[in-house]
Structure 1
């Protein structure tokens, strides 16, 4: 005689196994296919990367806004005069947007390409161009206003954060994000940067004091910083939905047995 109760137990067990397998990476993001360790460094890269990955200078990108100031006489490059000069911020200068083609439209010199240049190189190029076309000895400064990084995962405060200066270390910005919570794997903090089609992936081991000296942990515009949970919490995340499912399964089984007994 076929044992329906045993069959029900087997089916519930099979469903539990499938659910557990499907949820095994429920809270894990940004997995990489290959993660190769670099010896003697607290950070390793998952892919071969651009040489600029170690640069401490921010790179100008489309969508950035630039504050440009001539320290000698702002009116000479602002295109403004008289009463309109009151609209200028004397500490930051005029603000210009980098277009999708990486160009910026500036007074006197017109449209020039600044996207892809570091802030220092763009500043040097502006001084050269204005000296050629307008000023004898310009002193022009450039600032990128909207440098942003994103914190996701096991941080106390996830979200987007502005970088207030060119050189900001990962640890400094983690303070802004409220630090890591008690679920975080401190040995595996991922920094994802560059072209989203072929991103650079750095993995920092913050338990190693040497990570503080690594220049690659200076954050760059549009970096995504992700802290994944430790293995124990990944296991708990798997058990949670599986346990709920098991409870439902056992309730169904109890109901089946009760009806079966009453029908006898």
Structure 2
């Protein structure tokens, strides 16, 4: 009887040890951008985000004569001279791109900007302004360049980006990085292209991801990090996990006492 209980205890310990090993990930599955023969050629210019319907743009017009641009900056002429940069940005006029891809500017009227990069839109508006202003300057910023990071990350949520030049790694960093339970070789990116949702899988363990057209993010991208098999199996235990652990601990304790 004593030998039987000892064997049971040994089997229990071995089982727990094997379960622990099965939950551990190998280096191959955990390390980002592992060295290989990939030639890195991730040129941002190829993947610059384009303006889309429902984007909110902050547009400021400048010129040597401030009075000449007052009509194009409805709120700038009432701004105090000692304002902070943050207050100045908040007071600048914003424009929502309508479903046809247009914005409506003072005096200039409707201008089609959908499908243009920020730099292309700046140049288009600047050319329109030359009819009214000598050597005008234009600055455009996205007010709602947002990406969402969900799943097995430390801090899931939606994040407003300070610039449109955002990489997948930067977005994961803002979310606190993937947890140890996240699957790094099958990250899902959901992107809207011409009104259609598209889905793309990225392997963050391979350097070739740096060359992907989805490495640089677009506004409203959603990143989802799925849980690994160990996490999925753990979730199956549900509310009974604590009971199972308690019962197992009790059995091991009883066996230990009886085998003394």
Cα displacement string for residues 38-58 of structure 1 (whole angstroms, at most 9, x for unaligned residues): xx989xxxxxxxxxx984322
Cα displacement string for residues 59-102 of structure 1 (whole angstroms, at most 9, x for unaligned residues): 22232221222232554344179996133865684322223332
Please give the alpha-carbon distance, in whole angstroms, between the structure 2 residues aligned to 1:241 and 1:82. Answer: 58
Point out where structure 1 has 5 or more consecutive residues left out of the alignment: 1-39, 43-52, 248-264
The answer for the alignment partner of 2:77 in structure 1 is 85
Please give the alpha-carbon distance, in whole angstroms, between the structure 2 residues aligned to 1:178 and 1:119. Answer: 29
Q: Does structure 1 conserve the Cα–Cα contact (< 8 Å) formed by 2:103 and 2:111? A: yes
Please give the alpha-carbon distance, in whole angstroms, between the structure 1 residues aligned to 2:154 and 2:189. Answer: 17
Q: 1:62 aligns with which of 46, 49, 53?
A: 53
Secondary structure at the counterpart of residue 184 of structure 2: strand
Cα displacement string for residues 97-124 of structure 1 (whole angstroms, at most 9, x for unaligned residues): 2233322111121122222322121111
Distance 1:197-1:234 versus aligned 2 partners, 3 A rule: farther
Q: Does structure 2 conserve the Cα–Cα contact (< 8 Å) formed by 1:56 and 1:166? A: no
The answer for the alignment partner of 2:118 in structure 1 is 119
Please give the alpha-carbon distance, in whole angstroms, between the structure 1 residues aligned to 2:48 and 2:203. Answer: 23
Distance 1:87-1:64 versus aligned 2 partners, 3 A rule: farther
Q: Does structure 2 conserve the Cα–Cα contact (< 8 Å) formed by 1:190 and 1:225? A: yes
Secondary structure at the counterpart of residue 66 of structure 1: strand
Residue correspondence of structure 1 range 1-264 to structure 2 within 5 A? 55-72=46-63, 73=65, 75-79=67-71, 85-87=77-79, 93-131=92-130, 133-195=131-193, 198-237=196-235, 239-240=236-237
Deviation at 1:177, TM superposition (A): 0.4
Q: Does structure 2 conserve the Cα–Cα contact (< 8 Å) formed by 1:193 and 1:222? A: yes
Please give the alpha-carbon distance, in whole angstroms, between the structure 2 residues aligned to 1:139 and 1:54. Answer: 22
Q: Does structure 2 conserve the Cα–Cα contact (< 8 Å) formed by 1:77 and 1:107? A: no
Please give the alpha-carbon distance, in whole angstroms, between the structure 2 residues aligned to 1:207 and 1:193. Answer: 21
Secondary structure at the counterpart of residue 226 of structure 2: strand
Secondary structure at the counterpart of residue 216 of structure 1: coil
- TM-score, with normalisation over the residues of structure 1? 0.62
- TM-score, with normalisation over the residues of structure 2? 0.63
The answer for the alignment partner of 1:22 in structure 2 is none
- Alignment size in residue pairs: 194
Q: Does structure 2 conserve the Cα–Cα contact (< 8 Å) formed by 1:77 and 1:108? A: no
Secondary structure at the counterpart of residue 234 of structure 1: helix
Distance 1:198-1:86 versus aligned 2 partners, 3 A rule: closer
The answer for the alignment partner of 1:8 in structure 2 is none
Please give the alpha-carbon distance, in whole angstroms, between the structure 2 residues aligned to 1:171 and 1:81. Answer: 37
Q: Does structure 1 conserve the Cα–Cα contact (< 8 Å) formed by 2:79 and 2:88? A: no
